Structure 1
Amino acid sequence: MLPCRTLRRCVSGSERGARAAWHLERIVERFGLLTVIVLGEAGTPAARAVQEGLNGEHLPQLCLIMAAGPS
């Protein structure tokens, strides 16, 4: 566990405890990249699951689920 003083230095990015400057453009870019990564990580397993289901092994069950529609 880090002491509070050490943690504050790590967060501020300065040994003297000065506050780090915020760059709005970089923060927006980082959140955008994070969103792309999260969507990609969530979409890949979903696409693989659909692809595996359409390979023929589970096709009859999928057709029944689609025919039943939303509950």
Structure 2
Amino acid sequence: MSNTQIIQNFINRENDLYCDDCLSEKLDIKPRQQVNQICNKLKKQGLLKREVKQCSSCSKDKFINKMEGI
């Protein structure tokens, strides 16, 4: 399974909002920049929404990721 699929499956499965740092840590995808690139690509494709909100994991205000329409 590709890292893109891993990220999509995780975000679809979870009902929380996660920043790139926390996704990288939870999914063991290194470097963190790879998560950022994948999430930005999914956003451009209209599959993912990225906005500044509180991350459910680290509680910091950062760009969080959620599937579009959720």
Same fold (TM over 0.5): no
Superposition TM-score, scaled by structure 2 size:
0.24
Superposition TM-score, scaled by structure 1 size:
0.24
